[in-house]
Amino acid sequence: MESDVLTEISPTRYFEVLETLRTDWPHSIHVYYLIKNFIKWINLMDGMDFKVFCPQSNTKDGVVLIQAKPNDAYLMYMIHSVHKNENDLTKLKEILKETNVINWSQRVSFEATHEKLNPILKELAEEKNLKYDHYDYHQVWLPSMKAQNIKLENLSNNLELRNLEEQHADIVNNTWAYKRPGSLEFVQNSIVLNKGIGLFEKGCDSPMSWNTIQHFYGLGMLYTLEEYRKKGYASVVTLALSKDLADSGIDPYACILHDNIPSLTTFDKLGFEKICVVHWGVFSPKSV
């Protein structure tokens, strides 16, 4: 049987892929931290489906395809290339056309595709006669050296920051804009396996505002209950979680929907810098 243009990389060689991705920092931040986080999740959870592919098993090639299934309800892919010239990007399109790793006859989700690669996915959809819908996000980051200098202001006497616990997954999921079948497990994993921080009234078990570290090890699910808005609470939980990440040597980052003005404004005021636009896209067969 003819070999595929993409070869699965052994987990023992993931460090080689990470080294290559670091050459494109911070534009590779999403795929880099996603790989690192799933290495952790695989060791903590049974049945986690996660695979890394490179052309001809060459981890230095600069092209990486991720296949991940965090739960039974969600299969996703992510593609990244450290290259920027047109010839290399054309080569990437040919790889995606030829590989059998992806079953294009079914619904296929791509996460956080860098803006330089999205035109390739559009062309691919046309050539394969597929429908391609995508949503645009601003990817922003706070370099860890900058985040380590975060100074948390004193809270009023009746408020306190606490780590979220599994019992808080319901309220986070129910207010999450991307709630869907299977998303509760997604939220639970973010809180239990990664971390979430909430702002609480002392003596109260339900948070007023919160932020979490998602499956790609970026900030997400930021929310403040309506009755507590315009008090700066979203900034408080975001800064607290960012400082925790920075103290661990991790660059805090987030992906914010392009028209989510309140979140974009909050992160801008906190000193986050724009990296690029990334696209969450879905391929599906065109209706006959």
- How is 125-148 classified by DSSP, letter by letter? HHHTTEEEEEEEEEEEE--HHHHT
Q: How confident is the model at residue 45 (pLDDT cuts 50, 70, 90)?
A: confident
* Structure tokens, 169: 């997954």
> pLDDT tens digits for 261-272?
999 999 999 999
* Measured distance between the N- and C-terminal CA atoms of the chain, rounded to whole angstroms: 33
Residues 6+ apart with CB under 8 A from 103: none
CATH 3.40.630.30 domain extents, the chain = 6-136+278-285, 144-271
Q: What is the CATH number of domain 6-136+278-285?
A: 3.40.630.30
CB 138 within 8 A of CB 243: no
Pick the CATH number of 144-271 from 1.10.10.10, 3.40.50.300, 1.10.1060.10, 3.40.630.30: 3.40.630.30
Mean pLDDT on 277-281: 97
> pLDDT tens digits for 136-177?
999 999 988 888 899 888 899 999 999 999 999 999 999 999
In the prediction, which pLDDT does 1 show? 46
Q: Which of 114-118, 150-154, 191-195, 211-215 shows the lowest mean pLDDT across its residues? A: 150-154
In the prediction, which pLDDT does 84 show? 76
Give the whole-angstrom CA distance, residue 102 versus residue 27: 24
Mean pLDDT on 176-188: 92
Q: To which residue do tokens 């989510």 refer?
A: 260
Residues 6+ apart with CB under 8 A from 77: 65, 66, 67, 68, 102, 108, 109, 110, 111
Q: What is the DSSP letter of 206?
A: S
